[in-house]
Structure 1
Amino acid sequence: MNPQNAIGIFDSGFGGLTVFKSIAQKLPDYNYIYLGDNARSPYGDHSFETVYQYTLECVEWLFQQGCPLVILACNTASAKALRNIQQLDLPKKYPNHRVLGVIRPTAEVIGNFSQSKHIGVMGTRGTVNSNSYPIEIHHFFPSVEVHQQSCPMWVPLIENGEHLHAGADYFVEQYIHQLMHQSADIDTILLACTHYPLLVPKIETYLPEKVRLIAQGDIVANSLTDYLQRHPEIEGKLAKTRQRIFYTSGEVSVFDQHASVFLEEEISSLKIKI
């Protein structure tokens, strides 16, 4: 039995669990349904059209489970699908539902962390190629210089459980070096993929001392808290019985094993076909 009137949280795989964890810690009373589209992940190298199609299918599935609000806890989906869903699909088919992403709330605050006004953004190819972060950040911080670096090997390393092994060091060092080579003035790096917090211990090993590393979980959780306070018409639809359920389109045993690493607790998921 699904929890009623839950907040839906969607990701292409496991990474959104880092956002879910922060949101659930900040807002523990609400009901949650998490969906990982692991059978079709990673989304990072798919076209805009494919990511939009996949994301919309998952959002609509969460709507069907009774979620009036869905969080795209996935940077690629937020970059490639959110605008179309908000502007094309919700007004026509789901006017009483809301879908939020992770890029805008991050862009609204990330400039506050930088003294030099040079920020590095590390993400998937899809997120970097979309140019969503430079565009959004410049809306709020016009004087900030944004330097981007795609890290195509990081998600596969994490999803295959290799991220803490010695073999991951080469790719961590390589991408950090490529980013810092763009500007010696970078003093803040945004991890613009929700998988990447699992690599923080290794990333910090290769960062210059002056550079601050920012993950998105707490930023998104704080933004959602503010959103619910400002939108009582949405908040009033959400039940608060502390129920949580996890779904995956992939293999349950694999999802549960990886999810326990992301969440630092054991879970039991259910499999669906989208």
Structure 2
Amino acid sequence: MAYYGSIEAGGTKFVCAIADEELKIIERISLPTTLPEATLEQVFTFFDSYDLTALGVGSFGPIDVNRKSSTYGYITSTPKPGWRNIDLLGALKARYDIPIAWTTDVNAAAYGEMHLGAGKDTQSCIYLTVGTGVGGGAVVNGVVLQGFSHPEMGHISVQRYPNDTVESTCPYHDNCLEGLAAGPALEKRTGIKGQSLAFDHDVWAIEAFYLAQALMNYTLVLSPEKIILGGGVMKQAQLFPMIRESLKQQLGDYVALPPLEDYIVGCDLEDNSGTMGCLLLAKEQCA
């Protein structure tokens, strides 16, 4: 029997899974992301029990996805303590002599949703997660999008909402999407954690404005067939109609879009998007 492995490597936790040839998950664990050596020791303990056929890895970033680069497979300029310039892919290859797919956590989630979730009737989609940070992945013509690097959709510049003067929570940019629309920005504006905010709080109009502006930019550049939104902030269901309406206003009538209820949707796989994407990518390594 073939066993496919998945590692969804997040800044907070590593989710590892094993699936069979039908991609039915046999076993899954969640490990806290501590320091690299300690975290990988637990990862190896989990996978060593199986005769792995291939492995798919979706990692927090930034990561190096350029196969011609001397640091291909590294987690690079992350602010996560202890993980800067760590050769994660190299450590996995040293342990397991098998094909290993390597991409970002959000690219893996986009791939999982396109094949098995909310985008399964498409060949192109964007997956955007909005939580502690903002990250996005894209699949174009059935292929995960990456070039010399990978998309960093959370750090595009956005115009400020009228009279919004809150300081950006991003240490790199004063006016990027993550700095103005991630969970910490919501808390900075209100003094209340996002999950505790009332559904009709005024701050949601600001949030919808920033997210719709970002989706407009992604739409104009990539023209995806579907945009899928996930992450903790997007558990606020009232945001979806607000984002759709704001997108309609900001885009004007410049381009025709599919019905917005079909174009901007939540994720079907919920917290499994990244895991299923990694498993799909692993299986494809053996095709």
TM-score bucket of the superposed structures, by smaller chain: 0.3 to 0.5
Structure with higher helix content: 1
Higher relative contact order (CA 8 A, sep 6+): 1
Work out which of the two has the higher radius of gyration on C-alpha atoms and give 1 or 2: 2
